[in-house]
Chain A
């Protein structure tokens, strides 16, 4: 099976290469590339599924000339959980790209985009099956660089270049941490193999250092607040199917790294899990709070990625605490919820980014307050976006609800329910998760209402049109999976159980399983019941309205005779109260002119929520560092004579030394 998987990886990785041989505007190249990517993706999905059959332990080892390196790849439960979204989202994204980034419309960068799209997917797939640190780092770097070129696709624009450079800097800061991490592990264990480290091999200080490096290095990639600085701008400025891959899958590689390293380290102290839980709560609450304040559709979705990463990290933190305190049920529910949320987020966030891309493709702007009323012109896109929005808010009967329920159940159990041991820290995360849920509802009501409902706010929307089949079909597939996992979560349980077993060790698990601890059957039943209730209600309303619907008229605007689209509540007004409540973190900038005199001239109101960490932390610090570095110019004059003098002085000093 492993060979099949590697073939799939190579196929996807090379999928963009043949396209380079064709004409810039040739459509044949893009079809060939997409066919290769789809074939590779399907093969990868099949190989992953087959590799998980009982009794299989797929592994390939081959010598590699690089010092310390070994070509060692293996497929276990954790790898498989991450492989599925990689292959699925990339496959659907390449199909979407056929309509969204037509070669004929983008002759300059279409081929480049397809090349790096494939390379990125291959890099990630190799990353999650690598069992050698050198191979892991190589795959990590392929992923990081390919993603850089993808973010920089439209590099003729200033904002895109800035986003790409910021991404590159963050990605390499992460890699730097990983170098230190693996060097530490190498010096302690004597090998670069990624295998379980026994008790007592690592000194406590070293273990803590490894954990902190993992949190910073992988946290930078995952976008844990406050390490998220690169995430909003690069998600906003990349082409939408790249954003879907960035948000749906790439940031999950940070989660994968964290999950993998945590599984290798022996017996964690309680504060490790506590730290992760606290970071998860911060990312979750502040991520969604920043999202509420955004005016850019894709930037808003990017902040929601930070929120969802927060939810995933909360689950992981709970599992770590459970491991420390010997509560297996916390491990199962926490990690099970986190991994299921990895899938769910990959599904609904890709769906949202693809739908947002469909909107942007039609109206050529990302400004939420310029849009409105798109549900009429783009019914399918708007339905897909709505499904994604309900799912990301964690509302039943869709998939987001299930993973949040698992994490909730685990957190409630930290009160001491279902076992003797209790841990007070977990209880206080529950209301935070509830707050995240309601804030997400507020944010998606805002964005769906402002973009798809009401009346068109600008000229951009007038000639909007529905997207073609190549763009709608991938979205429909993702929406289908959102329903499937929401209505039948038991389908996912065996695979998640395997991953949890691989993480905690089957012996520790002692027969506990997700389906035994979580009411998966009841969730299905309640979901089906809810759908039935909704259908009954719809039929009832339809029946009551039959023959009694009066001639449609304009909206009743409380007696005002001539309402216009400009009088609608905007997204910024909608968010104003919430932005005010979170002003201690958001530091919104508002430009509110005061009308003065008897005949004030025309003016406008403007507000924005910049990223607090980037704008108030990193940028000033970078300026300060640059200023500090400018002092070195005193010696670095840049003229050759001065350097010759330096050499002469050093020689003379050495001559008279001793």
Chain B
């Protein structure tokens, strides 16, 4: 019970901090002071108190986009084991529900973008669903590797870190999956090198351009939903990399520290790399697929 409460508190508070950490890291690299760590919270509160403008073109689908995006991602966070050994909701096969909840969020976010009738938002939606097609197999190859190594089919018992699978082949496979999932994290969250969240050229954007027409509380929900999605993928990576521990507090501490490290890592990547040209993005995603597929061949052989 206590671990569920901690889980919920963490899910509620931490995601926006990750955005703040990324921003601060980028500012440090650029030699700026940067906005405060807690700036995303201020942004969220400001957005929730604002009014909204809706286009005459839109229907109820436009308003459903942020709601479904947030609700589905929030449910997905409950399936992830965070600091404790088990997630609040854990059952055999929850990994499929996890992946498909993110799919549901993507479906409605992209529909909401098309509901505006703007060609820019159509472009963003098209890119989002296209790149997801290449990222999803990488995610599933990785899930297969962890399922094979752990012998379980629930995220809580699959993502137990490297220690229980002492074998060298298993370790090698886990490293491959880790790299692959980091690439998936960057792609799914529309970070550099896939997309630049700071760009102001609508023609080249993916996620940000899909939500151009949202404003006020709906945009706030989108902001929080996007932070949750970053949290979800960062948690996947952290749980894959960190060994599970029996000490509850050490578990939570290591998990939180791990998340912050991932956020810093994302910030570093954004500072030292440039965006890829749009036509090269599929190659990097296919490379991620091949890496984790290689991991799978290592463990099934």
A residues in contact (CB < 8 Å) with B: 372-373, 375-376, 386, 390, 393-396, 401, 404-405, 408-409, 412-413, 415-417, 422, 424, 427-428, 430-432, 434-435, 437-439, 441-442, 444-446, 448-450, 453-455, 518-519, 522-523, 526, 529-530, 533-534, 536-538, 540-541, 544-545, 548-558, 563, 565, 567-569, 573-578, 581
Which chain B positions have C-beta within 8 A of A454?
A: 57, 114-117
A552 touches B55 (CB 8 A): yes
Which chain A positions have C-beta within 8 A of B148?
A: 415-417, 427
Complex-state Cα separation, A556 to B57, whole angstroms: 11
Tell me whether B141 is interfacial, beta carbon within 8 Å.
yes
Closest chain-A Cβ to B88's Cβ sits at a distance in Å of 11
Which of A519, A573, A581 interacts with B126 by CB under 8 Å? A573
Tell me whether B107 is interfacial, beta carbon within 8 Å.
yes
B100 touches A548 (CB 8 A): no
A442 touches B129 (CB 8 A): yes
Cβ contacts B83-113/A at 8 Å (1 or 0 each): 0000001011110110111011011001100
Tell me whether B56 is interfacial, beta carbon within 8 Å.
yes
Q: Is the interface of B mostly helix, strand, loop or mixed?
A: helix
Tell me whether B139 is interfacial, beta carbon within 8 Å.
yes
B residues in contact (CB < 8 Å) with A: 48, 50-59, 61, 63-64, 66-68, 70-72, 74-75, 89, 91-94, 96-97, 99-101, 103-104, 106-107, 110-111, 114-123, 125-127, 129-130, 132-134, 136-137, 139-141, 143-144, 147-148, 151-153, 202, 212-213, 216-218, 220-221, 282, 289, 293, 296, 300-301
A427 touches B93 (CB 8 A): no
Which chain B positions have C-beta within 8 A of A550?
A: 51-53
A438 touches B103 (CB 8 A): yes
Q: Is the interface of A mostly helix, strand, loop or mixed?
A: helix
* Known A396-B104, A417-B153, A522-B91; contact A538-B111, beta-carbon cutoff 8 A: no
Which chain A positions have C-beta within 8 A of B301?
A: 424
11 A-B contact pairs sorted by A residue (CB < 8 Å): A393-B103, A405-B96, A412-B144, A413-B153, A430-B143, A441-B107, A446-B126, A449-B114, A449-B122, A553-B53, A574-B122
Complex-state Cα separation, A557 to B55, whole angstroms: 11
A556 touches B59 (CB 8 A): no
Which of A432, A533, A554 interacts with B57 by CB under 8 Å? A554
Complex-state Cα separation, A446 to B134, whole angstroms: 17
The 8 closest A-B pairs by CB, nearest first: A569-B122, A449-B114, A454-B117, A544-B217, A548-B51, A431-B137, A442-B129, A533-B71
If A395-B104, A526-B97, A581-B133 are given as contacts, then 8 extra A-B residue pairs at C-beta distance below 8 Å, sorted by A number, are A394-B100, A405-B96, A415-B300, A434-B140, A537-B221, A540-B67, A548-B217, A574-B122
Q: Which of B96, B119, B140 has the most CB of A within 10 A?
A: B96
B56 touches A552 (CB 8 A): yes
* Known A454-B114, A534-B67, A569-B123; contact A437-B103, beta-carbon cutoff 8 A: yes
Which chain B positions have C-beta within 8 A of A573?
A: 119, 122-123, 126
Closest chain-B Cβ to A445's Cβ sits at a distance in Å of 5
Complex-state Cα separation, A538 to B93, whole angstroms: 28
Complex-state Cα separation, A248 to B31, whole angstroms: 62
* Known A449-B111, A519-B93; contact A568-B119, beta-carbon cutoff 8 A: yes
Complex-state Cα separation, A155 to B210, whole angstroms: 45
Which chain A positions have C-beta within 8 A of B300?
A: 415, 422, 424, 427
Closest chain-B Cβ to A20's Cβ sits at a distance in Å of 45
* Known A412-B147, A445-B129; contact A534-B137, beta-carbon cutoff 8 A: no
Complex-state Cα separation, A506 to B157, whole angstroms: 33
Which chain A positions have C-beta within 8 A of B133?
A: 435, 438-439, 442, 578, 581
Which of B61, B71, B121, B147 interacts with A536 by CB under 8 Å? B71
Which chain B positions have C-beta within 8 A of A565?
A: 117
Complex-state Cα separation, A11 to B113, whole angstroms: 49
A437 touches B68 (CB 8 A): no
Which chain B positions have C-beta within 8 A of A393?
A: 103, 107
Which chain B positions have C-beta within 8 A of A455?
A: 57, 117
Which chain A positions have C-beta within 8 A of B212?
A: 556, 558
* Known A396-B104, A427-B144, A431-B293; contact A545-B52, beta-carbon cutoff 8 A: yes
**CB closest residue in chain B, given A414:** B300
